[in-house]
A and B are shown apart, each in its own frame.
Chain A
């Protein structure tokens, strides 16, 4: 069994707060980090600005995490954290990967603004132990800060735990739908102008998601790659693990599920006038803003639900297939037009 590490890059104070208050407590739920195998061969690396090391080191969550894993917090000069966040995040990943690839580590990529459903880390760990090299999943936004806060439990002030089973997490999303998610529902009359994901409702039971963005949750590089140009999720991944057979796409929230803690701050793509979803617009959007790989991600059906029999929802699969296939055809036609 190969060595593994968890890695989190924290680029700013907002991410620091979300990591300490939500990501870390959710990782500490019973069926996440506390239940993974081979803890002696696994460590947690957190790379961030010098400015945040003290706050992190003194947090109860980190103290609790140390009960399960060796935790290594590395501070980097604060001056590199004052420009565009994505650039410093990619640089931190480059630094981490340079070392971890030498050690043949499998890397759990833990973004600092994510809540992990209880059991997700355990499932990823099992898949990794089966030899899967890359695990990809979609993500959805939540704005339910208050509800999530009430679910936190504390054990003698030793640190908070946020243990939310996947179906309950879906229920929270449905009860207080994020405006961006609402705008991306296929039959919304105010359909998104930035449809990076599109949702087909499953009654009041959840969503069928088709998305251009799949995040690498776990990567065990096959090829040693340094000096990638863009990001961990983009060119690094393609070079480090080139064969599709090494990839596993998480397509059911019962198995692997995470939400992004945006808490309603973002309104990207929410239109201020009526906008009906149609294949021509989506095709053009794909052509303008997406890579071939992003378009390829749309072929997966991702079920986010409270407990359904997928066989009962064949019609949603068909509807979404027709929409996605037509859109991709338009996109290819636009691409051809542009090239000629």
Chain B
């Protein structure tokens, strides 16, 4: 029996460019349409699915069969912006476009005091994630829910889904994949970025947003300061952020760490990012080992106080394990956290001091 919802929720997707739109319509949206994701929502005017894109993509998206199915469950609102805004530029421009579209969404949600569910367009969702998110919102009433995700190899995962789900799917090409199965295929097809985030990597990342400890072949334990904000009900619907929804917007919108819920198990919430093989962000050509000081410095520079509290929660990403067997690994992650947190504080104080000096110098 589905319980009626009493809160407003906007599911938000920003997507442009043919490749990303096709990935969204062919893989990501079908995984959101599994029984315990979007269809588990009560048909209710309080929920909306917002898609923000380039004007030249609106018709194509509207014509897709996946959108037709989505409309059966939730009110869909697609808005396009002028095509020239989406052309050319570099990585920085891509983030600027995404944040500009998010600002429009945040502004829209501010008018109806809605919570925002941030849905990346190029990910595969584990069945049950949306249903579990609703439960957490209703039971724990947090303002923010953050989760840890895994980057996997785009082409390999797409091939796997094509042959195991889409080709055989009899009903509307929906992808129903359990969290444990999704973790399994993500672990079997890890992206280089994922490999570089293991604490024992010989080419350890320069972007330690997440750090992983192996649990044999059955999963990993993660600590992360830059987790994905799946749900945000802003205390302040600020548009005045400089970077992105998961960085300074989050710190400004919900400043109090007590308003955050960190999901600690992939059985509850999980998605896997489909990352192109050529994306080697944060991976050095020469060998590098994990260094607590460098990790602390990165965290201090790229996160806010609330983000840093995420590190205190160990996150289990697994294919079905007995956690008690992995107590030693858990202890290792605790020792790591205890060593890094004070250094993060030191670096943060230094940064704050420098910022104050610079602003008084001006």
CB < 8 Å A-B pair total: 64
Q: Mark A83-117, 1 if CB is under 8 A from B, else 0.
A: 11001101100110010000000000000000000
Q: Which residues of A contact B87 (CB under 8 A)?
A: 94, 98, 226-227
Cβ of A299 < 8 Å from any Cβ of B?
no
Cβ of A230 < 8 Å from any Cβ of B?
yes
Check A76 against B85 for contact (C-beta < 8 Å).
yes
Most chain B beta carbons < 10 A, residue from A77, A88, A227: A77
Contacts known (A79-B101, A82-B240); A91 close to B107, Cβ less than 8 A:
no
Contacts known (A94-B84, A95-B82); A87 close to B89, Cβ less than 8 A:
yes
Check A229 against B90 for contact (C-beta < 8 Å).
yes
Cβ of B362 < 8 Å from any Cβ of A?
yes
Check B104 against A77 for contact (C-beta < 8 Å).
yes
Cβ of A288 < 8 Å from any Cβ of B?
no
Cβ of B99 < 8 Å from any Cβ of A?
yes
Q: Which residues of A contact B104 (CB under 8 A)?
A: 77, 79
Cβ of A70 < 8 Å from any Cβ of B?
no
Bound state CA distance, A210 and B97, in angstroms?
A: 37
Cβ of B59 < 8 Å from any Cβ of A?
no
Most chain A beta carbons < 10 A, residue from B88, B89, B90, B96: B88
Cβ of B279 < 8 Å from any Cβ of A?
no
**Interface residue tally of chain A, by bracket?**
20 to 34
Contacts known (A79-B101, A83-B100); A230 close to B84, Cβ less than 8 A:
no
How many residues on chain B are close to A (CB under 8 Å)?
23
CB distance from A198 to the nearest CB of B (A): 23
Bound state CA distance, A83 and B239, in angstroms?
A: 9
CB distance from B82 to the nearest CB of A (A): 6
Cβ of B56 < 8 Å from any Cβ of A?
no
User: Which of chain A's residues 33-64 have a Cβ closer than 8 Å to chain B?
Assistant: none
Contacts known (A82-B103, A83-B100); A230 close to B90, Cβ less than 8 A:
yes
Check B85 against A80 for contact (C-beta < 8 Å).
yes
Q: Which residues of B contact A88 (CB under 8 A)?
A: 96
Check A90 against B107 for contact (C-beta < 8 Å).
no
Q: In the complex, given contacts A77-B85, A98-B84, A272-B361, what are 6 additional A-B residue pairs having Cβ atoms less than 8 angstroms apart?
A: A79-B101, A79-B239, A83-B242, A87-B92, A91-B85, A229-B89
A contact set with B: CB distance below 8 Å: 76-77, 79-80, 82-84, 87-88, 90-91, 94-95, 98, 226-230, 267, 272
